[in-house]
Amino acid sequence: AQSVTQPDIHITVSEGASLELRCNYSYGATPYLFWYVQSPGQGLQLLLKYFSGDTLVQGIKGFEAEFKRSQSSFNLRKPSVHWSDAAEYFCAVGHNAGNNRKLIWGLGTSLAVNP
Amino acid sequence: DTGVSQDPRHKITKRGQNVTFRCDPISEHNRLYWYRQTLGQGPEFLTYFQNEAQLEKSRLLSDRFSAERPKGSFSTLEIQRTEQGDSAMYLCASSLQGALANTGELFFGEGSRLTVL
């Protein structure tokens, strides 16, 4: 069955530290991969996406993610976390950019940032 | 430019009452989606529209739920005879789909939180 796993339910990092949020997927076809962020009381905002090409993608707010087909992973990274990065992060997988309704979502990782 | 807006942001209702949520998408977006999100979960797809046509409904959408997008612009999601299990955040998203505009990005509103007592 198709699925997305975000192994870490909650992560706490210190401000200025590096961050990596894990995302693993199980998908039968070439995936389209997304990371969204949701701040408290806010809607979801797209951080970055991978469709094809360079497996290292750059996103907004200094985030990047690397697609590793051999590991079925699309981990999100940031070299230096800011307090404003505290939020819920969702990884999502689809098989067609046009079929957004078919996105499969992870359960999310809640990020807390210590001052 | 305004993004996707949803109204009301919060709704508290008693079980058995009807509620209606409104979503105004980004004006040039032809696709509009409704999702439901409960605490600790990712969004769950409910239904989506291409212009005014409702193209798909999830099995999660029981007969008590109805969505419309009468003129291909704003949309409403109505829940009849609400149950406590309907308590959730209802998210609306829009996107622009077309041969040259298929970025796959959904633009979400801030959601309408429903609490059924």
The pLDDT of residue B21:
98
Cis peptide bond N-terminal to B8, omega within 30: yes
State whether residue A71 is helix, strand or coil: helix
Q: Does B95 touch chain A (CB under 8 A)?
A: yes
CB atoms within 10 A of CB A27: 17
Looking at the complex, report in whole angstroms how far the Cα of residue B17 sits from the nearest Cα belonging to chain A.
25
Q: Which of B17, B3, B62 is closest to B36 using CA atoms?
A: B62
CA distances from B56 to A39, A80, B59, B89, B112 (A): 29, 42, 10, 20, 21
Tens digit of each residue's pLDDT (9 = 90 or more) over A97-112: 555 556 889 999 999 9
Looking at the complex, report in whole angstroms how far the Cα of residue B86 sits from the nearest Cα belonging to chain A.
19
Q: Does B97 touch chain A (CB under 8 A)?
A: yes
Tens digit of each residue's pLDDT (9 = 90 or more) over B15-74: 999 999 999 999 988 899 999 999 888 899 899 999 999 988 988 788 999 999 998 899
Q: Does A108 touch chain B (CB under 8 A)?
A: yes
Q: Does B42 touch chain A (CB under 8 A)?
A: yes
Tens digit of each residue's pLDDT (9 = 90 or more) over B98-117: 644 455 678 899 999 999 99
Tens digit of each residue's pLDDT (9 = 90 or more) over A63-95: 999 999 999 999 999 999 999 999 999 999 876
Q: Does A94 touch chain B (CB under 8 A)?
A: yes
CB contact residues (below 8 A), chain A span 36-75, against chain B:
36, 41-46, 49, 51
Under 8 Å between Cβ of A89 and B20: no
Best B4, B37, B48, B113 member to test A by mutation, with max A CBs in 10 Å, is B37
Best B46, B50, B95, B106 member to test A by mutation, with max A CBs in 10 Å, is B106
Question: In A, which residues are within 8 Å of B110 by CB distance?
Answer: 41-43
The pLDDT of residue A103:
80
What the block records as the tokens of B44 is 């769950």
**Ranges assigned E (strand) in A16-107:** 19-21, 24-26, 32-38, 44-50, 56-58, 64-68, 73-78, 87-94, 104-105
Task: Give CA–CA dist B105/A62, Å, rounded.
Answer: 19
